[in-house]
Copies of this chain bind each other. A is one copy, B any other.
Amino acid sequence: MTPTVRIDLARLDANIAAQPGRLRPHVKTHKILEIARRQLAAGAHGLTVATVGEAEVFAEVCDDIFIAYPVWADKRLRDLAGRVRLSVGCDSLAAAERLVGVGAAVLIELDSGHHRSGVPVGELESLATGILDLGLDLRGAFTFPGHSYAPGGQEAAARDEDRALSAAGQILRALGVTDPVLSGGSTPSARYSQVATERRPGVYVFNDAQQLELGTCDWAGIALTVLATVVSRREDLHQIILDAGSKILGSDRPAWASGFGRVKGVPDARITALSEHHGTVAWPAGKSLPQVGEHVAVVPNHVCLVLNLVDEVEVVESGRVTQRWRVAARGRN
Contact = CB atoms under 8 A, between A and B. Distances in A.
A254 to B, nearest CB: 10
A127 B113 CA distance: 56
Contacts of A117: 231-232, 241, 278
Interface stretch (A71-79, A154-162, A213-221): A71-79
Contacts of A247: 305, 308, 333
A246 interface: yes
B237 A115 contact: yes
B50 A276 contact: yes
Q: Is the interface of A mostly helix, strand, loop or mixed?
A: loop
Interface residues of A, number: 59
A28 B246 CA distance: 13
A298 to B, nearest CB: 13
A246 B248 CA distance: 13
Contact of A292 (B94, B292, B309, B333): B94
Contact of A293 (B72, B118, B304, B333): B72
B305 A276 contact: yes
Given A92-B233, A98-B293, A116-B280, 7 more contacts: A28-B276, A50-B277, A72-B293, A115-B237, A117-B278, A146-B275, A247-B305
